[in-house]
Amino acid sequence: MPGMYIHVPFCRSKCPYCDFYSLPRISEEALDAYTKAVEAHLRRFAGQSAFSAETVYFGGGTPSVLGARRLNRLLGAVDHFFPLQKDAEVTAEMNPAGWEEDFFDTLYKGGFTRISMGMQSANESELRLLGRNHRPADVRRAMQAAQKAGFTHLSLDVMTALPVPSEENRLENLRRSAEICRELGADHVSAYMLKVEDGTFYARHPERYTFPDEETACRDYRFVADTLESLGYRQYEISNFAAPGGESRHNLLYWHDEEYLGVGPAAHSFLNGRRFYYPRDFQGFLNGALPEEDGPGGSFEEYVMLGLRLTEGITRSACIDRFGEEGGKQFDALHVYGAGLARMQPKDDPLLIVSENRIALTRSGFLVSNAVIASLFESIE
């Protein structure tokens, strides 16, 4: 069953590293207009295709800027047009600061089941460096309030490869951030490596920051992954870790190359075999502009590329289930080539695991995933 993604393109302020589509300092009128526009777009899609939503994900931007009542109203609209499955996972991303007092109670009663919070770091000076408008105490307060309201599925973001001016406490701070996730009861952690994206404040002012070299960034990644695993989180995707049962069902749907409908400026979709997206144009979205075509989706290559982001990788049986005999043949080509590649790698630190029915990247492989996947594709060209 498809998932639903609603993009909420508002933030209280713009973080210097962020290239997501979001508008800072927006008025209440604009938030209301946006809510109505999302409803209108949902209604239009419902006239074209019918499905029951297995997951709903409000991402951004900062969905909490919309406020709990508008979020509930939109969830009601999703349920009206694409009836939620009984056990649907419904996630809202949020900023740890700036939420109204009854935020969590209202969302929980409205049917939300999961909260994903942009903690990024448990260290005050790192948060300042990241231009975040929250403090470590805000995360604790928000997590406690969410749990009190009834939420058991809580995710925290941790950022690695930060441009900290001194290396002195780098790993210690990272360890603390990971430990806080466990201490505060998160059942999911997303550990993202910071990259300097074109057009961001970081990219425009590199002289103000000390960005880590590749070796340091890789060391951060391995360190946070090992630390999270020692705390009981299992890595299930390049950047994602979960306590048992805490995996994000919505994100798994992306990595399994399943279909979803995305609504909102900059939201992408894969529905009825085709990919399409809304341009990064808030006013256009309010005016009812239609999404733009992005070609067919669901090819074997796409399936492999997404599946290899997961620690479980891809299997021959799943390829056959999805693509029939042709999928089996393509998997076999990958398998032969992959086994050759695996033999060329050091035994104590391989990039790839190739067993009879499965191909998966290792943690070292995740660090160079694009190159390894490109090599694998050479075998089916």
Binding site for ligand SF4 (CB under 6 A): 11, 14-15, 18, 20, 22, 60-62, 95, 118
Q: Closer to ligand SF4 at the Cβ: 95 or 113?
A: 95
**What is the smallest separation between the CB atom of 190 and ligand SF4, expressed in angstroms?**
12
Q: Closer to ligand SF4 at the Cβ: 35 or 62?
A: 62
Q: Closer to ligand SF4 at the Cβ: 61 or 307?
A: 61
CB 362 within 8 A of CB 352: yes
Q: Say how many C-beta atoms besides its own lie within 10 A of residue 370's C-beta.
A: 8
Which residues make Cβ contacts (< 8 Å) with residue 150, sequence separation at least 6?
108
Q: Give the whole-angstrom CA distance, residue 165 versus residue 147.
A: 36
Q: Give the whole-angstrom CA distance, residue 364 versus residue 51.
A: 39
**What is the smallest separation between the CB atom of 86 and ligand SF4, expressed in angstroms?**
31
CB 77 within 8 A of CB 115: no
Q: Closer to ligand SF4 at the Cβ: 194 or 308?
A: 194
Q: Give the whole-angstrom CA distance, residue 132 versus residue 97.
A: 10
**Residue linked to tokens 């997303």:** 190
**What is the smallest separation between the CB atom of 157 and ligand SF4, expressed in angstroms?**
9
Q: Closer to ligand SF4 at the Cβ: 20 or 277?
A: 20
SS3 call for 141 = helix
Cis amide leading into 61 (omega within 30): yes
SS3 call for 31 = helix
**What is the smallest separation between the CB atom of 29 and ligand SF4, expressed in angstroms?**
20
Q: Closer to ligand SF4 at the Cβ: 119 or 352?
A: 119
**What is the smallest separation between the CB atom of 275 and ligand SF4, expressed in angstroms?**
23
Q: Closer to ligand SF4 at the Cβ: 62 or 311?
A: 62
Q: What φ, ψ does residue 170 adopt, rounded to 5°?
A: -55, -55
**What is the smallest separation between the CB atom of 155 and ligand SF4, expressed in angstroms?**
14
Which residues make Cβ contacts (< 8 Å) with residue 191, sequence separation at least 6?
157, 158, 159, 160, 178, 221, 224, 225, 228, 239, 240, 241
Tokens at residue 143, please?
């997590």
Q: Closer to ligand SF4 at the Cβ: 182 or 250?
A: 250
**What is the smallest separation between the CB atom of 328 and ligand SF4, expressed in angstroms?**
42
**What is the smallest separation between the CB atom of 267 and ligand SF4, expressed in angstroms?**
14
Which residue from 238, 250, 286, 292 is spatially nearest to 267, judged by alpha carbons? 292
**What is the smallest separation between the CB atom of 60 and ligand SF4, expressed in angstroms?**
5
Q: Closer to ligand SF4 at the Cβ: 18 or 196?
A: 18
Give the Å distances, CA to CA, from 73 to 11, 36, 43, 112, 182: 20, 10, 14, 12, 32
